[in-house]
């Protein structure tokens, strides 16, 4: 045998030398949940280890993560039911929970990079990402609301806007609006290929944001399709996105690879709540090694072509890296 592939696996030194993929905490984005009040952290039952934080507590959490090398945070608000309406007005209330939280974090921790969520669902009495009229999700009318939301976030100090709504034309609409208002340096991470997935369940528990009727199939993509992802990516590229995202991540590694091969923008992937919950549940039952499963899952997403990974494992992964030296 002239070819013995095992020679390149014979010791940890050789294995490290030939290792192709590495992942650093600086490439992770940590999604965090904000709730009203003070001095409270409430664990989300379907997401062990993940909490809703009041803003004061969130500042501590962000500070800890920054020391571990995780420096970008995707913020999601839990809005009380009384503040929800069909127009998601609370989403651009300059004195509302979310906008105040952005201000406060940027004021106290200016080096934290904040990615904000642009979609109606946390604030909508219908629980949909767009405006609902007669059971339909209206596209162009929604853009106006998303625009108000994005501008409020930019004014509060958002570094990256993350439209997660899947309305047509929103990237160009938001880019133009931000530019007209002078926010030329606010980035846009487009949720480019966002699928109508069963794996968002725990996230909807966390925000109490599940749709009140129907599903999201008229705006989120069909899990059966991949070619459509290229159309979405073309549009987002042309409309000025700075990053293209695939969501979920682990079940859509082929889509990550497809976008990475066809576009020169950095590709991000969202390792979603259900993917997190599966690994946590199995590891809590002693059915697999949670740390190893986490590291392997994240590495696989990177290997498929994602430069950036949004993951609830961000802090735990950074902690693990630090402990391993
Ligand atoms: C909605 C939104 C969702 C997630 C992020 N933004 C859920 C949905 O589309 O219903 C899911 C994230 C996760 O599951 O971790 N705008």
Query: Looking at residue 121, what is its pLDDT?
Result: 97
Write down the mean pLDDT value for the chain: 97
Query: Looking at residue 100, what is its pLDDT?
Result: 98
CB neighbours of residue 10 within 10 Å: 10
pLDDT in tens, 106-117: 999 999 999 999
Query: Looking at residue 150, what is its pLDDT?
Result: 98
Quick one: average pLDDT of 146-168? 98
pLDDT in tens, 277-317: 999 999 999 999 999 999 999 999 999 999 999 999 999 99
Quick one: average pLDDT of 138-165? 98
pLDDT in tens, 168-215: 999 999 999 999 999 999 999 999 999 999 999 999 999 999 999 999
Query: Looking at residue 325, what is its pLDDT?
Result: 80
Active site residue 247: yes
Query: Does 167 score more than 90 pLDDT?
Result: yes
Looking at the predicted complex, does its ipTM rise above 0.90?
yes
- Ligand 1 center from residue 272 Cα (angstroms): 8
CB neighbours of residue 218 within 10 Å: 13
Share above pLDDT 70 across residues of the chain, in percent, rounded to a whole number:
100
Q: Which of 57, 84, 216, 247 is catalytic?
A: 247
Query: Does 261 score more than 90 pLDDT?
Result: yes
- What's domain 24-324's superfamily in CATH? Aldolase class I (3.20.20.70)
Q: Is 203 in the pocket of ligand 1 (CB under 6 A)?
A: yes
- Ligand 1 center from residue 110 Cα (angstroms): 26
- Ligand 1 center from residue 299 Cα (angstroms): 22
pLDDT in tens, 205-215: 999 999 999 99
**Residue from 30, 75, 129, 170 to probe ligand 1 pocket by mutation (most atoms less than 8 Å from CB):** 129
Q: Is 129 in the pocket of ligand 1 (CB under 6 A)?
A: yes
């Amino acid at each position: 045998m002239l070819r013995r592939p095992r020679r390149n696996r014979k010791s940890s030194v050789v294995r490290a030398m030939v290792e192709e993929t590495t992942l650093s905490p600086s490439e992770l984005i940590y999604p965090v949940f904000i709730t009203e009040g003070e001095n409270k952290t409430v664990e989300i039952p379907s997401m062990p280890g993940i909490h809703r934080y009041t803003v004061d507590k969130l500042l501590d959490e962000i500070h800890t993560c920054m020391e571990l090398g995780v420096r970008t945070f995707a913020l999601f608000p839990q809005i009380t039911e009384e503040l929800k309406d069909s127009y998601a007005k609370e989403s651009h209330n300059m004195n509302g929970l979310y906008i105040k939280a952005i201000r406060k974090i940027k004021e106290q921790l200016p080096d934290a990079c904040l990615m904000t969520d642009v979609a109606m669902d946390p604030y909508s009495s219908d629980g949909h990402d767009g405006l609902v009229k007669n059971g339909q999700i209206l596209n162009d009318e929604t853009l106006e609301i998303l625009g108000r939301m994005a501008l409020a976030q930019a004014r509060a100090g958002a570094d990256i806007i993350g439209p997660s709504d899947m309305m047509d034309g929103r990237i160009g609409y938001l880019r133009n609006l931000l530019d007209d208002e002078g926010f030329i340096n606010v980035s846009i991470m487009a949720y480019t290929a966002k699928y109508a997935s069963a794996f968002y369940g725990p996230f909807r528990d966390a925000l109490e944001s599940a749709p009140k009727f129907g599903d999201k199939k008229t705006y989120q993509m069909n899990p059966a399709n991949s070619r459509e992802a290229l159309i979405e990516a073309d549009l987002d590229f042309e409309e000025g996105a700075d990053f293209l995202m695939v969501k979920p991540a682990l079940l859509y590694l082929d889509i990550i690879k497809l976008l990475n091969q066809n576009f020169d923008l950095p590709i991000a992937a969202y390792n979603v709540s259900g993917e997190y919950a599966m690994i946590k549940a199995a590891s809590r039952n002693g059915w697999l090694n949670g740390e190893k499963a986490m590291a392997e899952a994240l590495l696989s997403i990177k290997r498929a072509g994602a430069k950036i990974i949004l993951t609830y494992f961000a802090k735990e992964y950074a902690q693990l890296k630090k402990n391993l030296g």
